[in-house]
Amino acid sequence: MSRPTPIKPGPGQESVWDYPRPPRLETSTASIQIVLGGETIASTTRSWRVLETSHPPTYYLPRGAFADGALREAEGSSFCEWKGMASYYDVLGGGRVAPRAGWTYLSPTRGFADLVGAVAVMPAAMDRCVVDDEVVTPQDGGFYGGWITSAVVGPFKGQPDSWGW
């Protein structure tokens, strides 16, 4: 399958096709909010973005950014070739439970050591995720945790027929 044609970024935008592979970790001071069940379950201005070719950024928040009781350890794990072994959380808010919709790396690889204990969520499983007052669009595909805002252009991995990118 051939590489898709990247969309040219406009002023103030990034192309996910300019992101590296292997991915890069960078700090962010964007204002982040996560809402589930009508409740804000996480809020911070200190997070990390994982940037990988063809993927919108995935945001990781400090564990302390989450409200008490918003994260419950869940069974299972998965392996990322870049970050290592992930552990999962059920995400809770406003009487709702989003099973295994959050994950963390308790012992990430050296390049992602800053993520120890930080938590990412699947935006599609939340009521909404917000970056600097903009509600994000979840990355397609059900497998990915990318956050699409007007600041990033694709096309994005996860859309139909993109598995081989």
Q: What does the pLDDT look like over 106-158, one tens digit per residue?
A: 999 999 999 999 999 999 999 999 999 999 999 998 888 999 999 999 999 99
Domain map of the chain by residue range? Answer: 14-153
* pLDDT at 1 (0 to 100): 58
Q: Where are the alpha helices (DSSP H) in 92-160?
A: none
- Rounded to whole angstroms, the Cα distance separating 5 from 3 reads 7
* pLDDT at 164 (0 to 100): 82
- Which residue(s) pair with 51 in the sheet? 24
- Rounded to whole angstroms, the Cα distance separating 119 from 51 reads 16
Q: What does the pLDDT look like over 48-95, one tens digit per residue?
A: 999 999 999 999 999 999 999 999 999 999 999 999 999 999 999 999
Who has greater pLDDT, 165 or 36? Answer: 36
Of 23, 27, 71, nearest to 45 by C-alpha is 27
This prediction's pTM: 0.96
* pLDDT at 161 (0 to 100): 85
* pLDDT at 144 (0 to 100): 87
CATH label, 14-153, candidates 2.170.150.40, 3.30.430.20, 1.25.10.10, 2.40.50.100: 2.170.150.40
